[in-house]
Amino acid sequence: MHVTHLSLADFRNYARAELALAPGPTLLVGRNGQGKTNLVEAISYPSLGGSHRVAGDAALVRAGEEAAIVRMRVAHDERAIVVELQLNKSGTNRAQVNGSVVRMRELPRYVHTVLFAPEDLALVRGEPSGRRGFLDALVVQRTPRMAGTLSDYERVLRQRNSLLKSARASRLPADSLTTLDVWDDRLVALGVEIMAARVSLVAELRPHLIAGYSAVAGDDHAATLGLRHSAVDPSSDGPLDDSDALDTERAAAQFQFSLVERRRAELERAVTLVGPHRDDLVLTLNGLPARTHASHGESWSYALALKLASARVLRADAVAGDPIVILDDVFAELDEGRRERLADAVADFEQVLITAAVESDVPARLAATRIPIVAGMIQLDGESPNSTGDDA
């Protein structure tokens, strides 16, 4: 899979932009703040379900405008599709594929990307929510229908939390909330489906992670990963699940038991304390938690290995071929050895898009096709800029 053309209108600092792309590596180079990341942010949006930099879409719309348009042509073998997004500063976003309206959550079915960015260091050192988001975005890319399951789970969770708040305000006893039992059943059914999808994904990621860490770091530090399920063992340091599949009947029974056991505490805090929304992906090096024991270089290698593993899993699963690999301002963070090893690791993917402020940071074999971004505009082979925008 590769993007052949990207067209933007009122996206970030671009009033208009047209960018033709080819398979293989392409380097977008220019000083910081010129709009390089904005281009790859637009390309990755459909597969990630949003920006990798901000939580909302309002920041993606050019100042003074009400909506941004992202249109891209994506090719695989002899087939091509056109994906078009209208991102509104307020109100519902809209999406089309080949002119037909689709739901935004269906877009990962059509575009697969794996994006490496400096923010990915938080996968290793940050909070569990970031790791859950990483897993769930990849789950949806592999199985688009899971977007609906995740959305339904969030809706049920909100309803259940609302009921808990009302019960706390009314000081109702824990054993009188029969309505809560109905929400519990729905939460468990959806939650176990999410847990099973995550367990299956982690099992597939694990061997690729081990290989990817060794490839990037140049060392074997026994990198591995497992899941900690709050619904199975509510303790924060409970056992890790490193199985290849989830026993769904057992997990459902344990989930139900945990909800009953924690109900009084949930009423006191007016929040659901167990479920996939409180699970964590635990990363280890040499048997120790990477979050607390990995050095800066080891953390970077781990984050890159996770993304490499994601790309390999998508490559194995997808009928659309390779995902589009995006390296957003990554090489500046790496020493020379890691730069070369990362270049080796991504060299065989169909399309690799790289952004960099300093061209010499990027191994030469990834910089053969070079597109300068100057003053918020795209320049090709010394020609006049082919876009108009503001210097961001």
pLDDT value at residue 259: 93
Torsion of CA 28, 33, 37, 42, to 10 degrees: -120
Q: Mean pLDDT in each 10-residue stretch from start to end of the chain (392 residues)?
A: 95 93 94 90 90 87 94 90 94 93 90 90 93 93 91 95 87 68 93 96 94 86 90 67 86 93 90 95 92 90 93 83 92 88 92 94 92 81 51 42
Is 98 strand, coil or helix? coil
Query: At CA 166, angle to CA 160 and CA 170, rounded to 5?
Result: 145
* pLDDT score at 238: 62
* 225 vs 242: CA distance, rounded Å: 7
Q: Residue 351: what residue type?
A: Q
In Å, how far are 22, 149, 172, 174, 321 from 178, measured between CA atoms? 59, 24, 11, 9, 49
CA gyration radius, the chain: 22
Phi, psi of 177 (to 5 degrees): -95, 70
Q: How high is the pLDDT of residue 76?
A: 86
pLDDT at 235: 61
Neighbours of 65 (CB within 10 A): 13
- Give me the pLDDT at residue 99, please: 93
**Angstrom distance (rounded) from CA 9 to CA 242:** 46
Could you give the CA distance from residue 156 to residue 192 in angstroms, rounded to a whole number? 14
